[in-house]
């Protein structure tokens, strides 16, 4: 379950960093990030079909960033507070082109894949977490991985990954406008790490725990943090700098 707004950060018992912030290299943190979308899928699907089945296994190994830490990216443009659908600079489209393996099969599993296919065809009608979980249950017809999770350059996965930003993003009460969009972007990057550079992955993973707790750096704060991070040599040094700068993030 994702942290509540204002909930104190907790250390991961596996990697020692803040929970969620060690993904994708830390398996426990990666599982916590996956639970952000899986919890929403369970809440969405259970009233219709009962307990959901696990997502498809990924066919793509998860790399660990090895490049020297460099500044985290400037936060994404702040969208209008409240629900977001298609637009705001993101592609407004329908249909991911994925297929639901065995969707014609009998039983709850086949029904669930059919629901996943339906959700994938109408991203602007569903919460982004539900949409992401739906893609996890579909197979890319080009690479055979989970739809949207294949290597960068796969036509089907690149297309589906772009559709993510047509899904609804609703800021939680008590957070700065745009917090949910920032969470949405960072979760997407952490769950598909091979789609970005190692420096960007590092920055987004380290910022994620603070975003989940309800914080949001301004562009100026992000730029200042980036300047400080230029001197970081290790992931631990980069994490320590983000910890210090987080005291200034909007809440």
Tokens of 23: 């993904």
- Mean pLDDT for 139-168 is 93
Whether 149 contacts 157, CB under 8 Å = yes
Whether 163 contacts 91, CB under 8 Å = yes
Domain membership of residue 4 (yes or no) is no
Distance of alpha carbon 133 from alpha carbon 105, whole angstroms:
20
Cα-atom radius of gyration of the chain, to the nearest Å?
18
Kindly tell me if the per-residue pLDDT of 49 is higher than 80: no
Kindly tell me if the per-residue pLDDT of 231 is higher than 90: no
Q: What is the pTM of this model?
A: 0.77
Sign, Cα dihedral of 127, 37, 64, 142:
negative
Domain membership of residue 10 (yes or no) is no
**117 pLDDT band (50/70/90 cuts)?**
very high
List, for residues 56-90, the tens digit of each pLDDT value. 666 555 544 444 444 444 444 433 333 333 333 33
**Confidence (pLDDT) at 25:** 96
**43 pLDDT band (50/70/90 cuts)?**
very high
Sign, Cα dihedral of 20, 242, 172, 164:
negative
The CA–CA distances, whole Å, from 58 to 7, 125, 178, 219 equal 31, 26, 30, 34
Domain membership of residue 163 (yes or no) is yes
Kindly tell me if the per-residue pLDDT of 136 is higher than 70: yes
If one counts the domains in the chain, the total is 1
For residue 2, the SS3 value is coil
Distance of alpha carbon 101 from alpha carbon 160, whole angstroms:
16
What letters, b where the CB count within 10 A reaches 16 and e where it falls short, cover 60-80? bebeebeeebbbbbebbebbe
List, for residues 186-225, the tens digit of each pLDDT value. 999 999 998 888 878 888 899 999 999 999 998 888 777 7
Domain membership of residue 17 (yes or no) is no
**What is the residue range of 62's domain?**
27-248
Domain membership of residue 122 (yes or no) is yes
Distance of alpha carbon 47 from alpha carbon 69, whole angstroms:
44
**108 pLDDT band (50/70/90 cuts)?**
low
Domain membership of residue 7 (yes or no) is no
Q: From the CB of residue 132, how many other CB atoms can be counted at a distance below 10 Å?
A: 29
Domain membership of residue 11 (yes or no) is no
Which of these, 214, 191, 190, 210, lies nearest to 202 by C-alpha position? 190
Domain membership of residue 3 (yes or no) is no
Q: pLDDT: is 24 or 53 the higher one?
A: 24
């Amino acid at each position: 379950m994702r942290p509540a707004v204002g909930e104190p950060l907790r250390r991961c018992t596996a990697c020692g960093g803040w929970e969620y912030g060690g993904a994708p290299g830390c398996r426990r943190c990666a599982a916590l990030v996956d639970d952000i979308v899986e919890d929403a899928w369970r809440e969405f699907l259970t009233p219709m079909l009962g307990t959901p089945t696990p997502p498809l296994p990924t066919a793509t190994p998860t790399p660990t960033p090895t490049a020297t830490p460099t500044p985290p990216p400037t936060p994404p443009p702040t969208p209008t507070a409240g629900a977001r659908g298609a637009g705001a600079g993101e592609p407004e489209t329908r249909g991911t082109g994925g297929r639901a393996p065995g969707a014609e099969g009998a039983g709850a599993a086949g029904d669930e894949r059919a629901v996943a296919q339906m959700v994938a065809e109408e991203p602007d009608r569903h919460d982004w977490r539900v949409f992401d979980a739906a893609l996890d249950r579909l197979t890319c017809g080009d690479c055979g991985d989970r739809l949207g999770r294949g290597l960068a350059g796969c036509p089907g996965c690149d297309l589906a990954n772009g559709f993510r930003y047509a899904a609804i993003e609703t800021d939680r009460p008590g957070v700065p406008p745009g917090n949910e969009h920032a969470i949405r972007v960072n979760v997407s990057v952490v769950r598909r790490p091979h789609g970005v550079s190692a420096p960007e992955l590092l920055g987004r993973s380290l910022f994620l725990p603070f975003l989940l707790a309800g914080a949001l750096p301004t562009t100026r704060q992000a730029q200042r943090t980036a300047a400080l991070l230029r001197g970081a040599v290790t992931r631990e040094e980069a994490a320590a700098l983000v910890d210090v700068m987080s005291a200034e993030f909007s809440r």
